Amino acid sequence: MPVADLSHPIESGMPVYPGDPAVTIDSHATMAADGYRVSALSCGSHTGTHVDAPSHTEPDGATLDELPVSRFVRDAVRVDLRDRGAREPIRPADLPTVDAGAVVLWTGWDRHWGEPKYLDHPYLTPDAARHCVEQGYDVATDALNVDPTPADGASGSDDPHATDGASNDPQIPADHPDAGVPAHHELLGNGRLIAENLTNLDSVPARFELTALPLALAEGDGGPVRAVARWD
């Protein structure tokens, strides 16, 4: 059975959501000095390729430890959205209606990993997120965010994941239906999970099994994953 790694490696200075904790990996013990190696890792719970738990944006949402491990293994369908341009919406008509546990948005935006343009990814409209809920899909993407990401690092709040209705995108007015994090609310508020920052989707077929097991963080609002695809 073929297997493909869909994860970005975790390393110091890697891209993060604007305002999230920077990632640093420092040497704590070395072979020369201690006879073994240990590294000190500092990062946010939404570092790199990661899963969002409902508690990320929902006050009463489930945390990672409240979800069974089986919840992170899904029959997935990949949707080719590589024709989408910068900050272009993904609408319900762009998404399938099929028997699957997850829809994987293949935007090709992982090619901009580490570039300023990585913030300018396509995004899911609230109606498209609602379509996913209605179909029973979790959502995964090879972009930074299922909602628009602030281009200038300002989200209208001290909290980079603000959910007070302020626009996350300086190009989207605050009263626009796509402002804030409506796709997160629609998905996580209805018990759907989100995986972000996937990569290497060109190596997998249209249907595959997606395994994205997060770190077992107690009361976790999200966690880095090793996302893996398997298919027959």
- Three-state DSSP state, 114: coil
Q: For all residues of the chain together, what is the average pLDDT?
A: 92
Closest by CA to 177, choosing from 158, 168, 97, is: 168
153-200 pLDDT, tens digit per residue, is: 433 333 434 434 344 454 566 656 666 899 999 999 999 999 999 999
Identify the pLDDT of residue 108: 98
What is the distance between the terminal CA atoms of the chain, rounded to a whole angstrom? 5
Closest by CA to 78, choosing from 192, 191, 210, 215, is: 210
Identify the pLDDT of residue 177: 62
Return the CATH number at 221.
Answer: 3.50.30.50
Distance in angstroms (rounded) separating the CA atoms of residues 192 and 176: 24
| Number of compact structural domains in the chain | 1
pTM: 0.91
Phi and psi, residue 35, nearest 5°: 85, 5
22-42 pLDDT, tens digit per residue, is: 999 999 999 999 999 999 999
Bridge partners (DSSP) of residue 227 are: 212
Contacts of 152 (CB under 8 A, 6+ apart): 18, 170
Distance in angstroms (rounded) separating the CA atoms of residues 211 and 61: 22
Domain that holds residue 103: 3-230
Written as one string, the DSSP assignment of 164-206 is: SS--SSTTS-TTSTTSSSHHHHHHHTTT--EEE----GGGS-S
